[in-house]
Each structure stands twice: as structure tokens, then as C-alpha cells.
Amino acid sequence: MAHNRLAQRLERLARFDNLTGALSRKALLEAAHARLARAASGDRGAVREFVAVVDIDHFKSVNDGYGYGHAADDDVLRHFADIVAARIREGDAFGRIGGEEFCLFCRAEAIGDITLLVERLRRTVEATPCGLLHYNLQRGHRGRESLASLMVRADARRLYAAKVAGRNRVEAPAEDALA
């Protein structure tokens, strides 16, 4: 019985980020690969896979600028992950991919559906104080392409565009750019 509990604990540590409870980077990428393979192998009609890369604005200032230290950083990350996990749809995959960066994989018929979901998350996060500050998020891209290419486009293009445009915003490609 102790062996089974240990095995379950190790499995949980491997699949979930210990700090936030979101999927670990490894588990998220495995889920994403499986989802993209299923989407490529069968006809799912108009439903496609989309990805949003989410970054907490000015996260470094929690520790550096406000002087609250690493415990406050952890509180912000946990609070953010709790908000998102409670509001995503069943079947969406949400995980932490590093530092203050998270990723959300979703199925939808159109980019507009995912843009609305991510915008609702952004507004909720913006309106929810963590006891220290309000924090914000940006958003990434979609995909019918390789996972590596999808992640690069979401992170490098859309997330960067959101930061350049003033942060605290959702950046999504036009629907016709997805064809």
C-alpha cells in the first residue's frame, strides 16, 4: 500500500507543477502532441486546436520592485493558476511552461471563440487582486502545424506583439491568417 501511494505521488509530481497545480511543462507538451496527432489523423470537421501563451506582466517587479520577495512571487503564480484553472473548459489543457509563462491548448471552430475565452480570463485576472497588485496577461497563436512551430509563433510573435502594444491585452491573428 505504501508503494502505491509513493507511485501515485511520483506520478503527480511528474504531471503537475508542484507550485501552481497546473500541468507540468512535460505533461502539457505530451498532451499537446497527442491532441495535434489526433487532430491531424482524423476529420474533426471545423474544430481546430488553438494555443494561447500567457505571460504575467511585470512579474519580476513583484520581487524586485515591491520588495516582497520570492514568497510573494509564489503567491502570485498560485493565484493566477487557480483563476485560470477554475475558468477553462473541460478538455482544455493548461500548464506552466516556465517562470511566469503558461500555455493553454483549446479546441474551437474559430479563433474568435478562443480570443473571447482568453479575453475573459484576462479581465478576470485584471479585476482580481492578489493582495499585492493586479496582474495582467497576453495571449498567443493557434495551430495546424507542428507543436514546435506553433509554440514559437505564439510566444515570439503574438506575445511579443502584446508587450510592444502596451501589455495587458489579447493578441490574436485574423481568422483568414489561419488558413
Average pLDDT over residues 99-115: 86
Average pLDDT over residues 64-69: 61
* Mean pLDDT lowest among 39-43, 101-105, 109-113, 122-126: 39-43
- For residue range 13-57, list pLDDT tens digits in order: 779 999 999 999 999 999 988 888 877 776 556 678 888 888 887
User: Does CATH place domain 2-178 in 3.30.70.270?
Assistant: yes
Q: Can you give the pLDDT at residue 20?
A: 94
Angstrom distance (rounded) from CA 13 to CA 68: 27
> What percent of the chain is predicted at pLDDT more than 90?
16
**Cβ neighbours of residue 129 closer than 8 Å, sequence gap 6 or more:** none
What is the residue extent of each domain of the chain?
A: 2-178
The active-site residue out of 100, 101, 145, 171 is: 100
Per-residue confidence band for 144, with pLDDT thresholds at 50, 70 and 90: low
The model's pTM: 0.74
Q: What DSSP letter does each residue of 153-179 carry, written as one string?
A: IIIIIIIHHHHHTTSSS-----GGGG-
Number of helices (H), then strands (E), belonging to the chain: the values are: 7, 4
Per-residue confidence band for 82, with pLDDT thresholds at 50, 70 and 90: very high
Asked about 101 being catalytic, the answer comes back as no
The three grid cell numbers given for residue 20, joined into one nine-digit string:
501552481
Angstrom distance (rounded) from CA 26 to CA 147: 13
Better-predicted residue by pLDDT, 160 or 29: 29
